A and B are shown apart, each in its own frame.
Chain A
Amino acid sequence: MRMRLKLKTVFVMYFMVSLLGLIYALMQLGQRCDCRDHDMSKDQQISHLQTELRKLQEHVKTSELKKTDVPRIYVITPTYARLVQKAELTRLSHTFLHVPQLHWIVVEDSPHPTSLVTDFLAASGLTYTHLHKLTPKDRKLQEGDPSWLKPRGAEQRNEGLRWLREMGAAAEGKEAAALEEAVVYFADDDNTYSLQLFEEMRYTYRVSVWPVGLVGGMKFERPVVEDGKVVRFHTGWRPNRPFPIDMAGFAVSLRSVMTNPEARFDGDAQMGFLESSFLQHLVTMDDLEPKADLCTKVLVWHTRTEKPKMKREDALQKQGLGSDPDVEV
């Protein structure tokens, strides 16, 4: 009997304890049902999150592009009609589309705007100004001339500067304030530009400089910086020029352009002195602002595009069977 009583008590105690324990555990796991749902949609959750992430990145990107509180960059690109023109402008526009507050000034070497460039710019999605200025015949490179014979694009760049000065003088209020901080860059249509370059040049007080890749017969040319100042230029060709730097290797503030109305490119300058002819009106070597990690990173390359071989096309043209001229290339 004693045994039984003991057993009964033990049993009852045991039962109560386990019942309480079970209730406690069930309370903890009260949301088991939800858990299961979430398990199955884990993958969906991940995809959903990634989509959200991408949406946010897009939003950040577009809001960056819509940023109006960063200095504007005016990019002056001289261009001329040749087979690869549309291709060059196309891939250049793809780069510019990523840069916030960029205003593209395209100046054609032509007596009037061509439909190719007009239509292209209209479809590009960029903020642009379309100008044109014909190079006088005696300054123009003839067919068969080596590219280094005469400096190219001087008239067109000067036309861009003229437009900027005119626009700057007419600006008022908020627009004038925006122009105070703006920067001007000369971008040829066959070079290659990284996106970082534009952020480097955006904050220029007078003239900022940086290395340029694949130019002057070298892997890169660059200003040499000591104690935060440019002391000389590392270049393999004619280092004794006032500014032995490529067109793609500097940017000037719009303020400097406006306050020095005589500063322009000299189309008659000796080869390699085109940049100097402009910069010497604006700044001395001491005042140059080095960018790109004190001129140690290459963020722009002086690439050149081959002239496509047209011998079959020429042969066909002679027979009157050339490819459809209505198809724009």
Chain B
Amino acid sequence: MPKRKDFLALVLIVLPWTLLITFWHQRAGNPLLPVLKVNRTGASKSHQRSFRLHESCIIKNKHITEVTRIKYVHSHSPPWSDALPTLHVITPTYSRPVQKAELTRLTNTLLHVPKLHWLVVEDAAQRTAMVSRLLENTGMNYTHLNVETPPNLKVLKKPRNARIPRGTMQRNLALRWLRENINSRSGHKGVVYFADDDNTYSLELFEEMRWTLKASVWPVAFVGGLRYESPKINSQGKVFGWRTVFDPHRPFAIDMAGFAVNLQLILSKPQAYFKLKGVKGGYQESSLLQDLVTLSDLEPKASNCTKVLVWHTRTERPLLVNEGKKGFTNASVEV
């Protein structure tokens, strides 16, 4: 009998202490204490304590917001909370005198577009300070990548199909980034668009492409030696051909700026990339699209392809004749 009593006593002693230790452990492991309700009755001491906790709460929340932002800027998926599909705009860019100007005015356009994620891919061995600073100052959702096209493949002396069309490796890198950073099962709705840094885009265009189910198409001005090129639409509202003069029999006789693809389609076909070599002039777009969609899948936008909402403008190369051999102007001033 004494043994039983002792045993009972032991249990009754140990039990509350184990419970206590467990609770304290849990509390220690939980740094985020919620905001206390104002009407809580309690000792004045605990009330003061709760006020302090409230402050640390806010600070910690701010911290979390900031951390998320930084993480996002350095290539992590942005948070999805809105119903609006995200526009992933891929812009390859390379260093030349007008680069900063081009990116500046493109930024001024893109800043008007909601729920846009800008992927800027530099054709450079390293991300340049100029582009980094420019992107940071925009306040936009962006991802800054870089990949250098091997110089021997850029050289004009090589025959056409040995050269890689400009921007190909950069666009492919952006596609790879999307595939590696966005989970196709996360239910994320998005559309991918390739926007070169010297074209001109109307704001209407972005809202047209936002609701792309598979791939959408529209006219583009100043390509193919015409006022505009456009898909041919039949009475059922389906694409059946291409209104172009230059090789209208290409599988997709359309400019890079003339189509957008649903993100899920990109993610579900991970082998689809722009072909690097052996691509005839004008077939670059087809090299990607033929792995993704057929002609009948295409959705015509811009009022059944009757309005021009994007212009393939090209900026003149400035004649820096007065710079001379040594450079007349101060090299430290960024242009």
Q: Tell me, in angstroms, the Cα distance from A308 to B221 when the chains sit together.
A: 9
Chain B residues with CB under 8 Å of A26's CB are 23
With A38-B32, A46-B68, A234-B329 in contact, do A304 and B105 touch (Cβ < 8 Å)?
no
Q: Are A327 and B228 in contact (CB under 8 A)?
A: yes
If the complex has contacts A38-B34, A94-B108, A329-B311, are A45 and B61 also in contact, measured as CB distance less than 8 A? yes
Cβ contact within 8 Å between A312 and B102: no
Contacts of B79 in A (CB 8 A): 43, 46-47, 50
Size of the chain B interface, CB-CB below 8 angstroms: 75
* B301 CB, min distance to chain A CBs, angstroms: 14
The residues of A that contact B221 with a CB separation of less than 8 Å are 83, 87, 308, 329
**Residues of B contacting A83 in the complex (Cβ-Cβ under 8 angstroms):** 221-222, 227
> Do B202 and A90 touch (CB < 8 A)?
yes
CA of A86 to CA of B204 in the docked complex: distance in angstroms?
Answer: 14
Tell me, yes or no, whether B59 is within 8 Å of chain A by CB. Answer: no
Segment of A16-24, A107-115, A153-161, A171-179 engaged in the interface with chain B? A16-24
Tell me which residues across on chain B come within 8 A of A27, comparing CB atoms: 42, 46
A321 → B minimal CB distance (Å): 9
Contact B329 A218 (CB under 8 A): yes
Does any Cβ of A come within 8 Å of B272's Cβ?
A: no
Residue numbers in B under 8 Å from A4 (CB-CB) = 2
Contacts of A37 in B (CB 8 A): 34
**A-B contact number at CB 8 A:** 212
In Å, the complex CA distance between A327 and B246 comes to: 20
- Asked if A297 CB lies within 8 Å of chain B CBs, one says yes
Distance A204 CA – B80 CA, assembled complex (angstroms): 45
CB distance from A55 to the nearest CB of B (A): 12
Kindly specify which of A162-170, A208-216, A250-258, A278-286 makes contact with the partner chain: A208-216
Contact residues in A for B61 (Cβ distance below 8 Å): 45-46, 49
Does A310 lie within 8 Å of B227, measured CB to CB? yes
Per-position contact with B for A1-34: 1 when CB-CB < 8 Å, else 0?
0001001000100110011011001111111001
Q: Does any Cβ of B come within 8 Å of A69's Cβ?
A: no
Is B203 in contact with chain A by the CB < 8 A criterion?
yes
A143 to chain B, nearest CB (A): 18
**Which stretch (B9-17, B160-168, B291-299) binds chain A?**
B9-17
CB-nearest residue of chain B to A212:
B335
**Chain A residue nearest to B113 in the complex (CB):** A94
B150 in the interface (beta carbon within 8 A)? no
- The answer to whether A310 and B315 have CB atoms under 8 Å apart is no
**Residue A226 CB within 8 A of the other chain:** no
- Determine whether A311 belongs to the interface, using a CB cutoff of 8 Å to chain B: yes
Q: Which of A28, A57, A214, A297 contacts B97 (CB 8 A)?
A: A214
Q: Does A301 contact B (CB under 8 A)?
A: yes
Q: Residue A106 at the B interface, CB < 8 A? A: no
Asked if B314 CB lies within 8 Å of chain A CBs, one says yes
Q: What does the 1/0 interface line of B291-335 toward A look like (CB < 8 Å)?
A: 000000000000000111001111110111111000111000111
| Chain A CB within 8 A of B111 CB | yes
- Complex contacts, A301 vs chain B, CB 8 Å: 98, 100-101, 104, 335
Contact present for B68 and A90 (CB under 8 Å): no
Distance of A31 Cα from B2 Cα, bound (Å) = 42
B12 touches A15 (CB 8 A): yes
Check if A323 sits within 8 Å of B20, measured CB to CB: no
Contacts A38-B34, A84-B222; A217 near B101 (Cβ below 8 A): no
Contact among B68, B101, B314, B333 with A50 in the assembled complex (CB-CB below 8 Å):
B68
* B308 neighbours in A (Cβ, 8 Å): 327-329
Cα of A303 to Cα of B101 in the assembled complex, Å? 8
- Of the listed residues A47, A94, A305, A328, the one surrounded by the most CB atoms of chain B closer than 10 A to its CB is A94
List chain B residues, Cβ under 8 A from A56: none
Pair A309/B225 contact, Cβ less than 8 Å: yes
* Given A211-B333, A217-B323: A11 touches B12 (CB 8 Å cut-off): yes
Q: Given A14, A31, A53, which contacts B34 in the complex, CB threshold below 8 Å?
A: A31
Q: Is residue B36 within 8 Å, beta carbon to beta carbon, of the partner chain? A: yes
- Is the pair B19, A22 in contact by a Cβ cutoff of 8 Å? yes
* Closest chain B CB from A17 CB (angstroms): 9
- Checking A57, A214, A313 against B227 with a beta-carbon cut-off of 8 angstroms, the contacting residue is A313
| In contact, A308 and B24 (Cβ under 8 angstroms) | no
Asked if B245 CB lies within 8 Å of chain A CBs, one says yes
Cβ of B64 within 8 Å of any chain A Cβ, yes or no, is yes
Residues on A with C-beta less than 8 A from B112 are 94, 97
- By a CB distance below 8 angstroms, the chain A residues around B306 are 327
B224, A312: Cβ atoms under 8 Å?
yes
Contacts of B312 in A (CB 8 A): 308
Q: Is A118's beta carbon under 8 Å from chain B?
A: no
Which B residues lie within 8 Å of A28 (CB)? 27, 46
Please judge, given known A-B contacts A98-B108, A217-B319, whether A21 and B20 are in contact too, CB under 8 Å: yes
Q: Whole-angstrom distance between the alpha carbons of A46 and B65 in the complex? A: 6
A68 within 8 A of partner (CB) = no
* A236 in contact with B313 (CB, 8 Å): no
- Minimum CB–CB distance from A169 to chain B (whole Å) comes to 34
Q: Is B13 a contact partner of A305 (Cβ separation < 8 A)?
A: no
Q: Which residues of A74-124 are within 8 A (CB) of B?
A: 83-84, 86-88, 90-91, 94-95, 97-98
B residues less than 8 Å from A86 (CB atoms) = 311
Is B81 among interface residues, defined by CB-CB distance under 8 A?
A: yes
The 7 closest A-B pairs by CB, nearest first: A236-B322, A312-B225, A217-B322, A18-B16, A301-B101, A87-B311, A308-B222
What would be 16 A-B contacts, judged by CB atoms less than 8 Å apart?
A25-B23, A25-B24, A31-B40, A35-B32, A35-B34, A49-B61, A91-B200, A94-B105, A192-B102, A219-B320, A220-B329, A303-B101, A308-B314, A310-B226, A315-B245, A323-B228
CB within 8 Å of A: which residues of B?
A: 2, 6, 9, 12-13, 16-17, 19-20, 23-24, 27, 30, 32-34, 36, 40, 42, 46, 61, 64-65, 68, 79, 81-82, 97-98, 100-102, 104-105, 108-109, 111-112, 139, 200-203, 219, 221-222, 224-228, 243, 245-246, 306-308, 311-316, 318-323, 327-329, 333-335
Add 9 more A-B contacts to A39-B30, A39-B32, A84-B313 (CB < 8 A): A42-B32, A43-B79, A45-B61, A91-B105, A98-B108, A193-B105, A303-B316, A310-B227, A312-B225
